[in-house]
Structure 1
Amino acid sequence: MTPLERAARAIARMDAEFTYGTACTDADRAACELEWREYLANVCAVLTAIREPNNRMIGAGRVVLQEGERKTVEAYQAMIDAMLEEG
Structure 2
Amino acid sequence: MNDVFKALNDPTRREILKMLRKRDMTAGDIAAKFDMTAPSISHHLEKLKRAGLVTTVKQGQYVLYSINTTIVDDLLQYVLTLKKKI
- The TM-score by the shorter chain falls in which range? under 0.3
- Higher relative contact order structure (alpha carbons within 8 Å, sequence separation ≥ 6): 2
Q: Highest CA radius of gyration, 1 or 2? A: 1
Q: TM-score, normalized by length of structure 1?
A: 0.22
More helix by share: 1
More strand by share: 2
